[in-house]
């Protein structure tokens, strides 16, 4: 199953939000109803305007079936290494387990390498044990603990 990956367009936003809501955690925090919450539009516009941020969609037969956000982070550690950060990876629930996620992650890693990043990183909620097995199967090292501090609702 071969997908096409590309930068997201503003018109893709309803499909992106629907994918973010298409799992146990997302269903409790996302609102895919139309019209979309203006905060989604503002976030998309901020990502789109920033050369170190990319909203990505995966298409299969013209339908958006996956999404992720890529961030390019400069750093002083590791001799000034840039890092690629992958966030909000989602594949349509009806298509999980068919290789789409692996294609997305491989594509992201190639994109990071092309931009000079020396490492890629991501976080995954501790409850997402299937995702953890997936990343480990792809060769990712579960090397750190992640922490989050909620500043506002």
Residues 18-32: pLDDT tens digits? 999 998 888 889 999
Distance CA 149, CA 104 (A): 28
In a domain, 26, yes or no: yes
In the numeric block, which tokens belong to residue 96?
């999980």
In a domain, 146, yes or no: no
Q: What is the pTM of this model?
A: 0.92
Task: Tell me if residue 88 falls in helix, strand or coil.
Answer: strand
In a domain, 54, yes or no: yes
Highest mean predicted confidence (pLDDT) among 26-35, 73-82, 127-136, 142-151: 73-82
In this prediction, residue 78 carries a pLDDT of: 94
Distance of CA 76 to the CA centre of its chain: 24
Domain count, the chain: 1
Q: Which residue in 9, 22, 21, 17 sits closest to 38, CA to CA?
A: 17
Distance CA 16, CA 54 (A): 13
Domain extent at residue 41: 4-137
In this prediction, residue 25 carries a pLDDT of: 87
Tell me the per-residue pLDDT of 29-65, one tens digit each, with 9 for 90 and over.
999 999 999 999 999 999 999 999 999 999 999 999 9
In a domain, 57, yes or no: yes
Tell me the per-residue pLDDT of 80-128, one tens digit each, with 9 for 90 and over.
999 999 999 999 999 999 999 999 999 999 999 999 999 999 999 899 9
| Rg, C-alpha atoms of the chain | 15
Q: List the CATH number of the domain containing 37.
A: 3.40.630.30
């Amino acid at each position: 199953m071969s997908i096409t990956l590309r930068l997201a367009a503003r018109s893709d936003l309803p499909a992106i939000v629907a994918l973010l809501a298409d799992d146990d955690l997302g269903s409790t925090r996302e609102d895919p109803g139309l019209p979309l919450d203006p905060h989604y539009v503002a976030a998309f516009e901020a990502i789109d305007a920033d050369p170190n941020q990319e909203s990505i969609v995966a298409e299969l037969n013209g339908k958006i079936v996956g999404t992720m956000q890529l961030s390019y982070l400069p750093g002083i550690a590791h001799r000034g290494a840039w890092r690629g950060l992958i966030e909000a990876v989602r594949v349509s629930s009806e298509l999980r387990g068919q290789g789409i996620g692996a294609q997305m992650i491989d594509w992201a890693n190639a994109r990071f390498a092309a931009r000079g990043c020396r490492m890629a990183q991501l976080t995954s909620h501790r409850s997402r044990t299937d995702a953890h097995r997936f990343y480990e199967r792809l060769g990712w090292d579960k090397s750190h603990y992640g922490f989050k501090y909620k500043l506002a609702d």
